[in-house]
Structure 1
Amino acid sequence: MRFLLEVSLDDAALTKDPAGELGRILRYWAGNLRHYELVPGDESAVYDSEYREVGRWRVEGQAE
């Protein structure tokens, strides 16, 4: 299996403070991790601090 996280760095908030925004995105995702099974097919949108969709994460592959 693979976990993929794609975030567009072209978003306004991400161009102003990329490290800060990416850190916030990762903290938010990690805090909600318990709500996902993390099995192939799981996916969700990723939002910046202004709640604009800036990417997606997904789990690909086969469970072992």
Structure 2
Amino acid sequence: MKFLLEVTMDDAALAKDPAGELGRILRYWGGNLRHYALRPGDGSAVYDSEYREVGHWHVTDQTE
């Protein structure tokens, strides 16, 4: 299995404070981790502090 997190860094909040926004995204995702089985096919959109979609995460059964 592989966990993939992809975030576009050139949007407004991420371009202004990339470390702060990425930290917030990771904390938010980590806090909601218990809601997911983390099996292949699971995934969700990722939002910045202004609730704009800036990426996504997903679990795949590929190991490459």
Common fold by TM > 0.5: yes
- Superposed displacement of residue 8, structure 1: 0.1
1:2-51 deviation digits (Å, cap 9, x = unpaired): 00000000110000000000000000000000000000000100000000
Alignment of 1:25 with 2:25, yes or no, is yes
Q: 1:34 and 2:31 equivalent?
A: no
Count of matched residue pairs: 62
Question: Where in structure 1 are there 5+ consecutive unaligned residues?
Answer: none
User: TM-score, with normalisation over the residues of structure 2?
Assistant: 0.95
What RMSD, in angstroms, separates the aligned Cα atoms of the two structures? Answer: 0.8
What secondary structure is seen at the aligned counterpart in 2 of 1:32? helix
TM-score, length-scaled by structure 1 = 0.95
Identity rate, percent? 81
Q: Which runs of 4+ in 1 moved over 3 A?
A: none
Paired letter, 1:34: R
